[in-house]
Amino acid sequence: MRAVPSSVPLWLLYSRLEERSGAVVKARSVLDRARQAVPKSPELWTEVIRVERRAGNTGQAKSLMASALQQMPRSGLLWAERILHLEARTQRKALITEAIK
């Protein structure tokens, strides 16, 4: 991590390793440091949102998604994550049109 702090795949693998070992708090911490090192990475934001969703914190995941979409409103990855995993089925059609715009 010290040698290549801008490597997004390395940060992702490190956080997944921590999460699999049962340290969800440590995984969050790793991803927070990663977002500071590479602030405009939709992959890191998506992983943070997924960690929160897997931990059962849907409210926090939605809050993080709102922040991520404010910083990167044109990110297809973030829009796809929001539409497929964070919103109710009845709201998806409206969000798809919003994402296309």
35 close to 44: Cβ distance less than 8 angstroms? yes
pLDDT tens figures, 52-70: 999 999 999 999 999 999 9
Query: How is the chain split into domains, by residue range?
Result: 8-100
* pTM higher than the cut 0.85: yes
Residues 22-42 as b/e (b if ≥16 CB within 10 A, e otherwise) read eebeebbebbeebbebeeebb
- Band of the pLDDT at 2, cuts 50, 70, 90? confident
From the candidate CATH numbers 3.40.50.150, 1.25.40.10, 3.30.70.260, 2.40.400.10, the one assigned to the domain spanning 8-100: 1.25.40.10
Q: What is the Cα–Cα distance from 41 to 62, expressed in whole angstroms?
A: 18
